[in-house]
Amino acid sequence: MTSERPNESSESPVNRVMDTSVDEQDTQAAVNRQPPDDAACHQATVLVRGETIRDQNAPTAPTAKAHENGNAKESPRKEVSEAKVTMLNHLPALDDDGDIGIQKEHVVIRDGKPDLAFTGTLLASVASRSSTDQEHWEEYRIYETNGGKHVFSKVTRSVFAQEPDRHSAEVFEPSPSSVPSQLLRGARDLIHTRPLAWTDAAVTFFGYGPRAKALYRKLGDQFEEHIS
């Protein structure tokens, strides 16, 4: 009677222990070969008997070019008007400086209001760059019409072609234009109140900033406060 023994493994216990030790060494070596964690890579890895298998579905780190294209959007460049750049470079000179003191027909543009057309004289003008933005500048002008009125004009310009110029203007009349408006003023006002002059209206419109003072100096000393 024969008894059957279960087949024993051809590998000895020593060999199995050695294989296990080799596998652990390979695994530890693979771990040591892994690069340091990089949050930008986001790649999953699996260690199988010393081999590294990367998850193909894991997102890859974006390249520098893709980062620039996706996150660093450049602002659109503004188109510069060559004609306005020429005007800016000629400051403080203006194109109509030759018209000062000459009687002629003028058209003063106003935004949101009718333009002013009249025959008269350009008394003075001044222009300078904005103190806060070197790509913009302002122009001040004072006219006198043949009828004795004064026109104050302020123009703000930009070197950029898509930015329109801004125009504002006011008219000063030296006296009330109708008898009823005169009757509305009391006798006390007529005696004790100095009549409003065009210089007062100019200060109301332009103020007393450096550019306005440069304009006033071209008109003499009538804008100065004389004291004794």
- The model's confidence at residue 115, banded by pLDDT at 50, 70 and 90, is very high
pLDDT tens track for 151-173? 999 999 999 989 999 999 999 99
For residue 153, being part of any structural domain is answered with yes
For residue 14, being part of any structural domain is answered with no
The arrangement of strands across the sheet holding 150-158 comes to 103-108, 116-129, 136-145, 150-158, 166-172
For residue 152, being part of any structural domain is answered with yes
Computed on alpha carbons and rounded to an integer, the radius of gyration of the chain in Å comes to: 43
Q: Which two tokens stand for residue 175?
A: 């006296």
For residue 165, being part of any structural domain is answered with yes
What is the rounded distance in angstroms from the CA atom of residue 122 to the CA atom of residue 110?
A: 17
For residue 47, being part of any structural domain is answered with no
Domain containing 133 equals 82-217
Average pLDDT (114-133) is 91
Burial string for 164-195 (b: 16+ CB within 10 Å, else e) reads eeebbbbebeeeeeeeeeeeeeeeeeeeeeee
Q: Is this prediction's pTM over 0.85?
A: no
pLDDT at 138: 94
Q: Which two tokens stand for residue 61?
A: 């780190």
pLDDT tens track for 40-81? 444 444 444 444 445 455 444 444 444 445 555 566 678 888
Residue 178 has pLDDT above 60, yes or no: no
Q: How many domains does the chain have?
A: 1
For residue 173, being part of any structural domain is answered with yes
Q: What is the DSSP letter of 97?
A: G
For residue 148, being part of any structural domain is answered with yes
For residue 89, being part of any structural domain is answered with yes
Position 148, amino acid: G
